[in-house]
């Protein structure tokens, strides 16, 4: 069965974006870029919630004209070639999305996991990740903690009433500044 891998960047105070929604603070050095690229290589489908999708779709189709960063130059062609599924009840169509799923989240994602192929990579976001976590559908959490205090923004994990036990599988420092930890469902 395919796995869902959640790959997310956070500040040390636990936010995935800044108080005004800004996402200009992650620093993609060589090691962190290689880690991210290795996760992408494990997947044949990228998953996005609507909010993250809007940012991705506004940057990656023409990324090389906006940045000459080595990670951007390597990832942009892969992003364009890889099928992308967006989860949204409001988005009806998008030229870069292979599919939009609006209803029956648990059933649709369970079916995706049963299909043959490589893993599914969920990038960023908190609401879609929370919904998939509630259904026990995320298999691995890869969390990159950046050395910045944002002072507000969306939390890494949305507030919940129950606890979720995870098991730390690996942790490493990338580029002498970002700590990446991998957790599996406990």
pLDDT at residue 132 in the model: 95
Instruction: Indicate the fold that domain 4-185 takes in CATH.
Output: Dihydrofolate Reductase, subunit A (3.40.430)
The alpha-helical segments, DSSP class H, found in 68-165 are 70-81, 105-114, 127-134
Q: Is the pLDDT assigned to residue 94 strictly greater than 90?
A: no
Average pLDDT over residues 82-108: 89
Q: What percent of the chain has pLDDT over 90?
A: 82
pLDDT at residue 8 in the model: 98
Q: Where are the domains of the chain?
A: 4-185
pLDDT at residue 186 in the model: 75
CA dihedral 58, 59, 62, 68 (to 10 degrees): 160
Q: DSSP letter at 155? A: B
- Percentages helix, strand, coil for the chain (3-state, rounded to 5) are 30, 30, 40
Q: Which residue has the higher pLDDT, 32 or 103?
A: 32
pTM of the prediction? 0.94
Q: Which band of pLDDT confidence, cut at 50, 70 and 90, is reported for residue 33? A: very high
Q: What's the pLDDT tens digit per position in 99-137?
A: 999 989 999 999 999 999 999 999 998 999 999 999 999
* Mean residue pLDDT across the chain: 94
pLDDT at residue 95 in the model: 81
Q: Which residues touch 184 (CB under 8 Å, ≥6 apart)? A: 139, 140, 141, 166, 167, 169
Q: Which residue has the higher pLDDT, 158 or 11?
A: 11
Q: What's the pLDDT tens digit per position in 130-180?
A: 999 999 999 999 999 999 999 999 999 988 889 999 999 999 999 999 999
pLDDT at residue 87 in the model: 93
């Amino acid at each position: 069965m395919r796995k869902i891998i959640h790959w997310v960047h956070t500040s040390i105070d636990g936010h995935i974006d800044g108080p005004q929604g800004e996402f200009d603070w992650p620093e993609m050095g060589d090691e962190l870029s290689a880690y991210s690229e290795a996760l992408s290589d494990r997947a044949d489908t990228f998953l996005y919630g609507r909010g993250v999708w809007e940012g991705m779709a506004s940057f990656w189709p023409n990324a090389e004209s906006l940045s000459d960063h080595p990670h951007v130059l390597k990832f942009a062609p892969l992003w364009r070639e890889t099928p992308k599924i967006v989860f949204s009840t409001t988005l009806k169509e998008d030229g870069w999305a292979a599919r939009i799923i609006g209803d029956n989240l648990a059933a649709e994602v369970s079916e995706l996991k049963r299909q043959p192929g490589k893993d599914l990579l969920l990038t960023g976001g908190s609401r879609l990740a929370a919904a998939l976590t509630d259904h026990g559908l995320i298999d691995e959490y890869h969390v990159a903690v950046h050395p910045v205090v944002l002072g507000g923004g969306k939390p890494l994990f949305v507030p919940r009433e129950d606890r979720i036990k995870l098991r730390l599988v690996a942790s490493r420092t990338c580029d002498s500044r970002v700590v990446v930890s991998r957790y599996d469902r406990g």
